[in-house]
Amino acid sequence: MRTFLFAPETFNLAETTRMIEVAKACKEDATCIFMGYSQKFAYLIETAGFEFYYLTPHLTEQDVTNIMKFDQMKTIRMPFSYEMLMERTQQELQLIGKIQPDCILIGSTISLFISARVKKIPLVYVKPYAYTRANIESVHFMKASNKYIKEIMRAFFLQLKWFPRNLKKVIKYYHLEADFNYTIDFFDADLNCITTPEVLTKESNLPLGSVYVGPIFAHLNEAIPFTLKKLLKESTVPTIFCSMGSSGNAKVILSLLHQFKDLPVKVISPMKSFLADKEIEELPENVYIYDWLPALKVQKMVTASVLHGGEGTIQTACVAGKPFIGIGLQKEQEYNIAACVAYGNAVQIKKSKLRDYEYFKRMLHQLLNEQHYQQRATLLQQELSLINGCKNVRDAVMYLLEKE
């Protein structure tokens, strides 16, 4: 039997649960083993019945904060020191030597782009379309921009050869310079499984080594709390699911939840772990705060959602068949939201406009009262119901290995 090594960044809920769902689809064909540097969501891996290796250096809360700032382009400072990257790659090389995986499947574990190539193990990257060369080469890239600006930006991204100094030193140490010519190609794997559905990208041509697999997101087995189910069934006003995912922070979450004050809606938000008791006490009366909830089950029962732009979060709303307001915290999230806006099932609010109460009120009223948003959400739900993203990843991986 084959062995697959799964390596999400386990401080990220969406990434961890996405890998768990793929592993479930693969477990009949391979022994699925996980690794990570954080224990934050590792319990979900073990609860699902998979073995988990907790590697060093362990990520601290400050490390996670630095990674999120880098990911959200709030800083260009590399969140990993040279020593940290070296220890990670050495730990990974030891684990690869121990379990001898036939392939490695990642979310965004940056060090494995190096380790997998050192060991010459097929690398599979399950990722959104926004992070691909195909997106930049597409005729739809920066479609609303001036054509000259668009061509300048396209050339910039495709020809950029910049790497953070710490990363460049590790690449040089392992003599992998020839593997990483352009910056964009660093994030290219032997197989790139694109989770953004083609109906949203509107791009049928993908480069060699890339395939559309479709939506992959958490399917938590937890039940909806009885009190919440009762609230949703008995509400006489629209109900809103509001989540900023694991990439949110208390400041953004509080700002958003207070925008619902005095609006004729009831808001369900699984953001309790981000807020202090006093902050929860001061929330508007129409906001009901919870710990993590089974998002798909809840979103099927609400009227609409207000979400950050993480792809798993957006795809959950799309599969639930409900329209949403999207607030992107980084460029990739803004792309995910914009694709749905173009389809017609979403409204986009820039983070910079979040404190504008009247604007927020107007956008929410628009979403809830213009029927075409719900109609398009229902149509997209029907289209996505035909796609099994996890099975598609499994089939693509098996095809890749059979060609080896």
Q: Rounded CA gap, 244 and 267, in Å?
A: 13
Longest dimension (CA), the chain: 64
pLDDT 10s digits, 130-172:
888 889 888 888 877 788 888 989 999 999 999 999 999 999 9
- Give the integer Cα–Cα distance in Å for 40 and 63: 13
Beta-bridge partner residues of 36: 54
Burial of 369 (0-12, 13-18, 19+ CB in 10 A): exposed
Spatial CB neighbours of 344, under 8 Å, sequence gap ≥ 6: 372, 373, 375, 376
Is residue 262 within 8 Å of 237, Cβ to Cβ? no
Kindly report, residue by residue over 353-377, the tens digit of the pLDDT.
988 999 999 999 999 999 999 999 9
> What is the bridge-based pairing of β-strands 103-106 and 2-7?
parallel
- Tell me the C-alpha distance between 152 and 154, whole Å: 5
- CB neighbours (10 Å) of residue 175? 9
The alpha helices in 262-303, defined as continuous H runs, are 277-281, 295-301
Domains and CATH numbers, the chain: 2-214+387-403 (3.40.50.2000), 226-384 (3.40.50.2000)
Cα 218 to Cα 238, 269, 278, 343, 348, distances in angstroms: 25, 17, 30, 23, 23
Q: Give the integer Cα–Cα distance in Å for 254 and 274.
A: 9
User: Among 384, 246, 374, 371, which residue's Cα sits nearest to residue 315?
Assistant: 384
Give the number of other CB atoms < 10 A from CB of residue 301: 18
Which ranges of 120-213 does DSSP label H, i.e. alpha helix? 133-137, 147-159, 165-173, 183-186, 198-201
Distance CA 387, CA 286 (A): 36
Parts of the chain with a pLDDT under 70 = 72-73, 246-248, 404
Q: Residue 4's closest CA among 26, 20, 24? A: 26
According to the model, what pLDDT value does residue 73 have?
64
